[in-house]
Amino acid sequence: MKLLYPFLLSIILTLSTADRRCRGVNFNGKYYDIEMIKEGINKIHQMALNRNDNTVYFTYDQLTDVPMRSLGYVKLDTREAGLIGGIRNASGVAIDHVRNKVYVGGMDGLYVLNKEGMPEKYPVYDSIEKLFFKDVLFFVNSKKEAHVFDNGILKPMIELQHEDVDDLIIDDDDNVFFLQNGTLFRVRLGTRAINIHERYKVNVLSVDPYYRAFIGTSEGVFVYNKYKFALDKVSNIRDLRSLTFNKNLEPVYAVVDVLIKLNVNPLKCVEF
């Protein structure tokens, strides 16, 4: 850890947009200090932060003879970490913050964590890869099909029928952003007119607590500007594996095999 920390710190600071008079990592106009939460997480697949209790849930690849994914968690306030069993090949995770529900998708379908933190099965038996929650639950299955699960009713996502989907999010203006082999597309809920954002190779989709769409690429992190119908760059941090935000809009993300939180730096700029 002592050897790894300075190495990663130097990489992350190099990727920041801080100029030579400023200290920390610049993200969306603010400077942050780096806090390393957990290391050694192999290939995080999806991550979500429950802002009700400040717990990060993530699915990741287990280093076993038979490839499989598991569901892990870290409580940011206490740094308690652990695994949650009972979900075969856990892959997708999403949070309903209003009802304080943690949804998890796996090889055998859809689950919700009960008050004891144990999974309970829903009558959905599709193999789920990615989850997203906004008013209702959306998921992408292993066949790259997008579906909606609302009050126990399962139906295809009409806007994305006949489209291969790797991941999706929905912003505050009902824009659906989805990925096909790293290419970003956009369609508005209730319509079928699909737009392409082909400039960047995308690896991460996320929203903040206000459902602003953030796009992680090989060239940095962007936010969707709904007035210009374009992506505005907000950080030089590249090649993220996952990204989320706490209630104070502080980013929490995974890069390589490390989970990192950015804390607002009260000394934004200092002279060397």
Whole-number Cα distances in Å, 247 to 45, 52, 90, 134, 169? 22, 9, 26, 16, 18
For the segment 147-181, what is each residue's pLDDT rounded down to a tens digit?
Answer: 999 989 999 999 999 999 999 999 999 999 999 99
- Please state the domain count of the chain: 1
Query: Beta 101-106 vs 109-113: how paired, if at all?
Result: antiparallel
pLDDT > 70 in the chain, percent:
89
Which pTM value belongs to this model?
0.89
Residues 6 or more apart from 184 whose CB is under 8 A from it?
A: 177, 178, 196, 197, 198, 200, 202, 215
The answer as to whether 105 is a domain residue is yes
The answer as to whether 200 is a domain residue is yes
pLDDT computed for residue 34 by the predictor? 93
The answer as to whether 13 is a domain residue is no
The answer as to whether 194 is a domain residue is yes
- CATH code where residue 163 lies: 2.130.10.10
Distance separating alpha carbons of residues 187 and 195, to the nearest angstrom: 6
The answer as to whether 176 is a domain residue is yes
Containing H/E element for 15?
helix 4-15
The answer as to whether 9 is a domain residue is no
Between vectors from CA 144 to CA 237 and to CA 49, what angle results, nearest 5°?
45
Write out residues in the chain with pLDDT < 70, as ranges. Answer: 1-21, 65, 267-272
Residue 2 token pair: 């002592």
pLDDT > 90 in the chain, percent:
81
pLDDT computed for residue 21 by the predictor? 66
Range of the domain at 73: 21-264
The answer as to whether 272 is a domain residue is no
Closest CA to 222 of 255, 250, 246, 199: 199
